[in-house]
Amino acid sequence: MRPKDRRMIHIWLPEEMHKRLRIRVAEEDTDMQHWVAARIEQGLDKPQGKGAKS
């Protein structure tokens, strides 16, 4: 059962990027879900510069 305050997204990654991601999350003793969510949060917390894509 999914949490009511969460939404799921799906993305396609190049095979090599997926491999690198698997290695990184293993090195950081986390999982893809938490690692990617943290990086998205970091990106959203940064102020948007002029001309930045939304």
Pick the more confident residue, 43 or 49.
43
Q: Parse the chain into domains and list their residue ranges.
A: 15-41
Rounded to an integer, what distance in angstroms lies between the CA atom of residue 19 and that of residue 13? 10
Rounded to an integer, what distance in angstroms lies between the CA atom of residue 51 and that of residue 43? 16
Rounded mean pLDDT, 30-44: 96
pTM score: 0.74
8 Å CB contact between 35 and 25: yes
